[in-house]
Amino acid sequence: MTIDNARSLAVESLTRVANGAYSNLQLDKTIAHSDLNDADRRLLTNLVYGTIQHRLTLDYYLRSFVKPGEKLEPWVENVLLVALYQMLYLDRIPNRAIFNEAIQYAKDHGHEGIRRFVTGVLHAIDREGVPDVAKISDPLKRMSVTYSMPEWLVTRLIDQLGEDKTVSILETINQPAAQSVRVNTAVTTKTEAKAELEIAGFSVEESQVAGAGLRLDGQPASRSELFNQGQMTIQDESAMLPVEALQIQPGDQVLDACAAPGGKTTQIAAALDPDQGGQVTALDLHEKKVKLIARNAARLQVADRVNAMALDARKVDQKFANQTFDKILVDAPCSGIGLIRRKPEIRYDKTPEDSQHLQTIQLAILDAVSRKLKRNGLLVYSTCTILDTENADVVAQFLATHDNFESVRVKTTLNVKGDRTTDTLAIYPDDFDTDGFFVSALRRKN
């Protein structure tokens, strides 16, 4: 196994992520352009995600060995953070190997001064040990450093959910995300798909969250014949719930207002019957993403009931008459904090101001599409965040200014959280080991 190469690529990937690249896309690109074997790819993925997930904790440790106020070049900082991550979180790599590779990388990419600096810091950490996070006196900072979560997010979650639930969420977000798929019920059944996957060597478990969901283990789902044949698609279990809440009927006219890359569009399409006139109109701002929706619809064999077009959902008046649709899904642009396990850098990129700005966009989309819904039609609003600013607060503000709508209880196939007291459905990462999601159902009265 060429561990050296995996470590070097990890440092380079992290430096690009620090400059704005998405970690999952950067990793895909790095792996695609490398000749790493499976073991190397797993190590590279672990190093990149693990270092990002624990960045605040690792930064806290590292700063104890750097002069106050000293600014490090990003790649030098990443060399040290990757080394620290291996020392503290991975069991099977001896410090000697970690030090040698980190120092060699510093020598190859910097000058003699940087090599000496990296060498000195690593040996000091090895000699003295890292500081004890439990001794941080400020409870908020202690929590932030322990779980590597910005203080404003910790504060926001405690205000919303209390400290116990917040800790429970924070304890799960640095764990690997489960691999889940949605069976394409337009062309097969869950029973048939499960049997074929087991024959192919997958360990398969039925989802406790989504009706068409399966959890897979043993190998990447994208390598299976069922995926290649369009009989299933990769989708988180909680991400399947907004479409279940729409209660689709075969002949419905449905608007998917923020559709790319098309996961929910194709889920809607699977429940429609084109012979009965069923169709889903899928919108996205960008033509390139519209093409992606169309490709996904073709792969999943539901293109005959999908009409994808480039249009800002806030400008639906340009294309559609009022009361055109039986059902509307607004899976709104959001801060994505519920996806924190799959995109761990999200927590560091977002600010309270971002969340407030997104609320303005979310309300504008809801207002625009609400006029396109038929009387007694259902409008489902969903996000992949767990912040009230973009969830319950948006629904409350929409209802306060649209008295022709009422909140109704979100219904899902498996009656998820059936004992809840709210109409809305909030899924947190610690509830079912899935992404965090929010779903609200709003019925048009007149």
Structure tokens of 373?
Answer: 């819904």
Structure tokens of 136?
Answer: 């941080």
Residue 211 zone, left/alpha/beta (φ > 0; ψ -120 to 50; rest): alpha
Q: How far is CA 392 from CA 11, 147, 169, 192, 384, in A?
A: 40, 26, 19, 39, 13
Residue 384 designated active-site: yes
**Pick from 247, 234, 208, 190: nearest CA to 427:** 208
User: Which phi and psi (to 5°) does residue 262 adopt?
Assistant: 110, 5
How far is residue 137's CA from residue 140's CA, in Å, rounded to a whole number? 9
How far is residue 351's CA from residue 150's CA, in Å, rounded to a whole number? 9
How far is residue 232's CA from residue 268's CA, in Å, rounded to a whole number? 14
Is the N-terminal amide bond of 150 cis, ω within 30° of 0? no
Find all residues with CB under 8 Å of 34, minimum gap 6, and list them: 5, 9, 40
Find all residues with CB under 8 Å of 272, minimum gap 6, and list them: 248, 250, 251, 252, 254, 278, 279, 280, 302, 305
SS3 state at 289: helix
Structure tokens of 46?
Answer: 């672990």
Catalytic residue among 6, 170, 329, 384: 384
Q: What is residue 417's DSSP assignment?
A: T
Q: Looking at the annotation, which residues are catalytic?
A: 384
